[in-house]
Chain A
Amino acid sequence: MMFKTCSVRLMAIFTLLISSPLIADELSAFDKMSGQLNIAGGTAHIPVMKRAARQIMGHNPDIRITIAGGGSGVGVQQVAKGLVNIGNTGRALKNKEMNLGLNSFAFAIDGVAVIIHPQNPVDDLSQQQIIDIYQGKITNWRELGGQDRLIHLFSRDEASGTRSVFTKKLLKGAQLAANANIVPSNGAMKTAVSQDMGAIGYSSVGYIDNMVKAPTYNHIMPTQEACASEEYPVVRRLYMNTKGLPDGLTQAFIDYIYSKQGAKHVQASGYIAIDAKP
């Protein structure tokens, strides 16, 4: 008897959850669809894509969504060749890439911020200081008011959108010191920096949590709000790219990312959602 009431209650809760108008509206676009959607590219996009994919596949098990990383370069390459439906980039497409017949959909704003070990006492770094560090002119944390410890430079690989934003907007094209260690993803950067007291690296603001510390930049904290208002200047847009105009499942997925629920996934991943579809 007890068991029966329990299950009845559970059923009622589930029915409520499923029929909740907000969820039903935005996921109902996927109701009669099936098939596979392949996504690859920028690693900063992955948390958003994963959250969205989980919701959609939970709603309609006939849809399979695969998400791969690889970086912005891979995103462009694979979507242009038709290997994936959506290729993500953390930068605007170059002219050469536009000519391949790609369409871009910017859906989020992301900041790129310097990260250091959480126990590093340095709290603020100016743009010039960061340039000097990455050029190899400042080599010890003592020169920045920290402990007497050598600075270990970490940078991203050549195909990274995060790297191109960082070198263009923060380093202003300054030459990177040759002894910088190179890691291949945002996640690897966070792991490397969180384990090394002397490390300095940079990552997407969405990846910053209590494993690492983001010092203020010219006394501005790189928060989501500061990025949204462009008070914090090292920002970029995150793009989904399709070959030609999207249709079917791809179209539905992009619409979902732009929906209210999609915006929630973007926020939960640490980025700022862009509402208006271009």
Chain B
Amino acid sequence: MQSHKLTLKQNSWMQALLMTLVVSSGLLLFAVFCFLIWFSLPVFFTETTSVFSLKWQPEQGHFGILAMVFGTLSLAFLSTSVAFVIAMGLNSFCLLSRRRWLVTLLRSLLRFMAAIPTVVYGLAALFLLLPLLRNGLQLGSGYSLFAAVCMLILLILPVICVMLDNITTPLWQQYALGAQALGFSPEQTYMHVILPHCRVNICGAALLGFNRAIGDTMLPLMLAGNATQLPSGVFDAIRSLTAHIALVIATDQGSEAYNSLFVAGMLLLICSACICLLSRYLVGRNRLVQPE
């Protein structure tokens, strides 16, 4: 035991090192914010363009990115809400099903899915889902919000599922027997004991999936059609902010189109920072509720 303990000197040394790391990573993040704000400032102060408009017509001098903001949000909301519902279903199945082999299979499948690169999903959808939408169902060119949402669901489902699993399984082990003794059926235990207990963590899992959906680039770029319009339905093409950055980054540096990317990047960063803070806050509040 003694050998594992750090001496006082080593301890302070370690603390200094950790402090340096914390401070430097904090500074780096701060620098990224400053960098993006600094580079997007000129965009706000040019009179000829308005970044916060719906019109993106680079040949005509319109560089509005609001359609892309809307595209990103609709993509993330749709995919998260569907994936969340499926994830809750899978989670209850994992806890309640008597077919344990099926549960084991499902869990390993989900963990495997988390490791699949998004470009593989994109490629598969390009040759399977899109022709089905286009020729089978006659729904436009196939490149659409719907196609991107479908594949994004596959992408974020394992994220939410694994999070939920990690939250509920220990609780289940802790309470199942007691609840059974009080006369709860397993379903009742899940509904009335487990779920209320970790409501906030569940929100955290959903937020994490949402963040992932906002940040993904490959799937919207390959599948959503990248049209700079407000969609009138799920089968219309949209462009996400991330795909917008990927497409426009190759234009000549210093052009107005290029500068609009800094605004796009800033919006994305602010968005994920907010979500991160929100989930932190939620988890913190949960600790107060649980006197453990």
Q: Chain A interface (Cβ within 8 Å of chain B)?
A: 70-71, 73-74, 76-77, 94, 96-97, 150, 152, 154, 157-159, 167, 173, 175-176, 178-184, 192, 195-199
**Shortest CB distance A46–B (Å):** 15
Complex: chain B residue closest to A72, CB-CB: B250
CA distance A183 to B142 in the complex (A): 13
> Which among B56, B225, B252 is the interface contact of A97 at CB below 8 angstroms?
B252
Q: Are the CB atoms of B227 and A158 closer together than 8 Å?
A: no
Write out the residue numbers on chain A whose beta carbons fall within 8 Å of the beta carbon of B257. Answer: 158
Q: Are B227 and A150 in contact (CB under 8 A)?
A: no
Task: State whether B237 touches A73 (Cβ < 8 A).
Answer: no
Q: How far is the CA of A70 from the CA of B67 in the complex (A)?
A: 25
Contact in complex: A179, B229 (CB < 8 Å)? yes
* A158 adjacent to B58 (CB under 8 Å): yes
**Neighbouring A residues of B227 by C-beta, 8 Å:** 178-182
B134 touches A195 (CB 8 A): yes
Instruction: Please tell me which one of the listed residues A71, A96, A152, A179 contacts residue B250 in the complex, with CB atoms under 8 A apart.
Output: A71
Q: Which residue of A lies closest to B232 (CB)?
A: A179
Q: How far is the CB of A73 from chain B (nearest CB, A)?
A: 4
Q: How far is the CB of B200 from chain A (nearest CB, A)?
A: 41
A163 and chain B: residue at smallest CB distance: B59
How many Å lie between the Cα of A197 and that of B63 in the bound state?
32
Name A181's closest neighbour in chain B (CB-CB). Answer: B225
Against A, the Cβ 8 Å flags (1 = close, 0 = not) of B231-273 are: 0000011010000001111111110010000000000000000
Shortest beta-carbon distance from B141 to chain A in Å: 4
**A159 / chain B contacts, CB cutoff of 8 Å:** 247-252
The answer to whether A199 and B141 touch (CB under 8 A), given A96-B252, A175-B57, is yes
Q: How far is the CA of A157 from the CA of B226 in the complex (A)?
A: 9
B residues bordering A, Cβ < 8 Å?
55-60, 67, 130-131, 134-135, 140-143, 221, 225-229, 236-237, 239, 246-254, 257
* Complexed CA–CA distance, A199 and B141 (Å): 7
In the bound complex, residues from chain A placing their C-beta under 8 Å from that of B55 are: 178
Residues of B within 8 A of A70 (CB): 250
Check B60 against A175 for contact (C-beta < 8 Å): yes
Q: In the complex the two chains form, what is the Cα distance from A179 to B142 in whole Å?
A: 13
In the complex, what distance in Å separates the CA atom of A86 from the CA atom of B124? 35
Determine whether the beta carbon of B228 is less than 8 Å from that of A195: no
- With a cutoff of 8 Å between Cβ atoms, the chain B residues found around residue A178 in the complex are 55-57, 67, 227-229
15 residue pairs of the A-B complex, CB under 8 angstroms, read: A73-B252, A97-B252, A157-B247, A157-B248, A158-B248, A173-B59, A178-B56, A179-B237, A180-B227, A181-B226, A182-B225, A182-B228, A192-B141, A195-B134, A197-B135
User: How far, in whole Å, are A232 and B82 apart by their CA atoms in the complex?
Assistant: 51
Q: Which 10 A-B pairs have the closest CB atoms?
A: A159-B250, A182-B226, A152-B141, A178-B229, A181-B225, A73-B250, A159-B251, A157-B247, A74-B250, A71-B250
**A186 vs chain B, min Cβ distance (A):** 14
A97 and B131 alpha carbons, distance in the complex (Å)? 42
Alpha-carbon distance between A76 and B56 when the two chains are bound, in angstroms: 24
CB B235 to nearest CB in A, in angstroms, measures 11
Given A175-B59, A181-B237, A184-B221: A196 touches B142 (CB 8 Å cut-off): yes
Contact for B141 among A94, A167, A198, CB less than 8 A: A198
Residues from chain A with a CB closer than 8 A to the CB of B142 are 196
By the criterion CB–CB under 8 Å, are A94 and B59 in contact? no
Option from A154, A167, A184 in Cβ contact (under 8 Å) with B59: A167
Which of chain B's residues have a CB closer than 8 A to the CB of A154? 141
Contact yes or no, B247 A94, CB < 8 A: no
Q: How far is the CA of A82 from the CA of B257 in the complex (A)?
A: 23
Closest CB in chain A relative to B148 CB, distance in Å: 12
- For B59, the chain A residues whose CB sits under 8 A away are 167, 173, 175-176
Known A152-B141, A173-B59, A195-B131: A182·B239 in contact at CB below 8 Å: yes
Pick the most buried of A71, A158, A180: most chain B CB atoms within 10 A of its CB.
Answer: A158
Known: A77-B253, A158-B247, A175-B60. 13 other contacts (CB 8 A): A73-B250, A73-B251, A76-B252, A94-B252, A96-B254, A150-B140, A157-B248, A157-B250, A159-B251, A178-B227, A182-B227, A195-B131, A199-B141
Question: Are A158 and B237 in contact, with the CB atoms below 8 A?
Answer: no
